[in-house]
Structure 1
Amino acid sequence: MTVPEERVEYFKDGTVRARGQMLDGLLSGYWEWFRKDGVRMRSGYFELGAQVGTWTTYDKHGAVYKVTTMKPKGTPRA
């Protein structure tokens, strides 16, 4: 059984750009991205490298701006 490993990506200035988990080289589980000032920009879940479930986009102050539900690949759009 493969265990997910924590992953942190950084901007050139050393601040956190993104953090989440990788499993077998693919984004997995909960991930979040940040602006250079540290305010969260977007968050959501991955399964086998694909976005799934509810994804949240935040405004420049960190307040919820938009919530999107991702459909699995191959699902017809209504």
Structure 2
Amino acid sequence: MAVPQKKTETIDGYEIKYHADGLTRWSKGKVEDGQPVGYWEWYRKDGTIKRSGYFDAGEPVGKWITYDQAGEPYKVTDRGAGKG
């Protein structure tokens, strides 16, 4: 059985994907040449931020932050400097 595509739209250069309900935001960030670039955020269904981090040509780089249910940082992972 195929997994349905998430509803996606582009607003002011940011690609926004939505949870399966099509209403609540799942992720937000920029895409260039089909690859995520720059700062991205992911959200829970209740709208609180779940994770954030940076991409360099599709590769995760720098500090990635995971947030608790209240949206407060509780874990930081360093993904390195990347290609640049």
Q: Partner residue of 2:70?
A: 61
In structure 2, runs of 5+ residues without a counterpart are 1-12
Q: Partner residue of 1:16?
A: 25
Q: Partner residue of 1:76?
A: none
Alpha-carbon RMSD = 1.2
Deviations 1:22-63 (A, max 9, x none): 010000000000000000000010001000001100001101
State the alpha-carbon separation in 2 of the partners of residues 20 and 71 from structure 1. 20
Structure 1 segments of 4 or more deviating over 6 A? none
State the alpha-carbon separation in 1 of the partners of residues 14 and 45 from structure 2. 20
SS in 2 for 1:32: strand
Across the two proteins, how many residue pairs are aligned to each other? Answer: 69
TM-score by length of 1: 0.83
TM-score by length of 2: 0.77
SS in 2 for 1:56: strand
SS in 2 for 1:60: coil
Identity, in percent, stands at 46
In structure 1, runs of 5+ residues without a counterpart are 74-78
